[in-house]
């Protein structure tokens, strides 16, 4: 029994010494104040509202505590958390107090600046918009981009009413067709140009870009101008025109007899008249231009 008693007394003495040392350590530290800039967070935002504009991201606080405690504070230990559950549409003012600041044990908040925060809220809406594929680069020489298909062709987007009003499309990340001589198919991410607007969840699109032989352009000289729906004698000046057409490479045809150019003089009296030349190229060939576009028709 005497041995156990001596052992207990020894443990008590050790505890007293440790307590004394701890007291000396703490009592030796000064109580100080420090100014800090900390992040401002928002909680309990109503689901039907959007926080818009430029809400403050940080606030300034003055905190008090022992010099040792304050020196050991790390980033992320302090944050101002503002509860906005009472928010309504429009401009609103919220008070920010010391109770809204999250601090570690042993630290007190003395002051928060600003003491109130002005925030703007808008109604949260959704709309469906088409998806536009972004194409970059140039196909191989002699080839051109044809049609572009996007699957899905449309997506639902969400955001503040003011941002959705002017937004008409979602876009994909760029699809390169550089040097391509055949179809290009890629699965790419869909996004929205306005950072305050979003998709409900991350989404991709399968985009196919058709690449085909580039159409050729050529000139056809000496296409005779005919007169339609007229009676009597006519002269046309100039009597023929040069046309510029476009079509597939294997459809190049420069024979003027294969093209039709005409002017309509229906109901015109005798005299000189400036008339527009109408040209009909063969099937599969498109008209680019006519030179001259008008001719003088003299009716006798």
Break the chain into its structural domains and give their ranges. 28-114, 124-213, 216-299
- What is the pLDDT at residue 5? 57
CB atoms within 10 A of CB 65: 21
- Over range 158-167, report the average pLDDT: 90
- What is the pLDDT at residue 29? 64
Torsion of CA 30, 35, 38, 41, to 10 degrees: 100
Q: pLDDT category, 14, cuts 50, 70, 90?
A: low
Average pLDDT, the chain: 89
Return the exposure string of 124-145: e unless at least 16 CB atoms fall within 10 Å of the residue's CB, then b. bbeeebebbbebeeebeeebeb
- What is the pLDDT at residue 44? 96
Give the tens place of pLDDT for each residue, 59-112: 999 999 988 888 888 878 899 999 999 999 999 999 999 999 999 988 999 999
Give the DSSP H/E element, type plus range, for residue 12: helix 2-27
CATH number listed for the domain at residues 216-299: 2.170.120.30
Cα→Cα distances 231→96, 238, 295, Å: 92, 20, 18
Distance CA 225, CA 243 (A): 11
* Topology of the domain comprising 124-213: RNA Polymerase Alpha Subunit; Chain A, domain 2 (2.170.120)
Whether 27 shows a pLDDT value over 90: the answer reads: no
Residues in the chain: 300
The reply to whether 216-299 shares the fold of 124-213 is yes
- Over range 133-150, report the average pLDDT: 92
Distance CA 297, CA 262 (A): 11
The residue ranking higher by pLDDT, 72 or 183, is 183
Give the tens place of pLDDT for each residue, 225-281: 999 876 778 899 999 999 999 988 888 999 999 999 999 998 888 899 999 999 999
Bridge-based pairing state of the strands 175-176 and 135-136: parallel
Distance CA 96, CA 78 (A): 14
- What is the pLDDT at residue 25? 52
């Amino acid at each position: 029994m005497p041995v156990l008693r001596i052992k207990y007394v020894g443990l008590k003495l050790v505890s007293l010494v440790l307590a004394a040392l701890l007291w000396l350590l703490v009592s030796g530290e000064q109580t100080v104040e420090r100014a800090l800039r900390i992040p401002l967070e928002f909680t309990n935002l109503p689901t039907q509202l959007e926080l818009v504009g430029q809400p403050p991201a940080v606030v300034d606080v003055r905190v008090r505590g022992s010099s040792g405690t304050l020196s050991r504070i790390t980033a992320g230990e302090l944050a101002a958390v503002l509860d906005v559950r009472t928010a309504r549409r429009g401009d609103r003012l919220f008070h920010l107090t010391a109770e809204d600041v999250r601090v570690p044990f042993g630290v007190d908040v003395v002051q928060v600046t600003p003491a109130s925060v002005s925030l703007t809220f808008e109604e949260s809406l959704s709309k469906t918009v088409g998806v536009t594929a972004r194409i970059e680069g140039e196909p191989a020489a002699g080839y051109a981009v044809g049609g572009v298909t996007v699957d899905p062709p449309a997506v639902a987007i969400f955001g503040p009413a003011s941002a959705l009003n002017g937004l008409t499309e979602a876009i994909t990340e760029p699809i390169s067709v550089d040097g391509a001589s055949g179809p290009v198919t890629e699965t790419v991410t869909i996004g929205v140009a306005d950072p305050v607007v979003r998709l409900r969840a991350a989404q991709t699109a399968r985009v196919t870009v058709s690449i085909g032989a580039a159409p050729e352009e050529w000139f056809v000289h000496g296409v005779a101008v005919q007169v339609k729906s007229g009676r009597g004698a006519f002269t046309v000046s100039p009597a023929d025109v040069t046309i510029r057409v476009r079509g597939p490479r294997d459809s190049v045809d420069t024979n003027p007899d294969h093209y039709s150019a005409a002017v309509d003089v229906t109901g015109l009296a005798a005299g000189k008249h400036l008339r527009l030349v109408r040209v009909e190229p063969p099937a599969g060939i498109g008209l680019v231009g006519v030179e001259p576009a008008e001719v003088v028709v003299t009716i006798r």
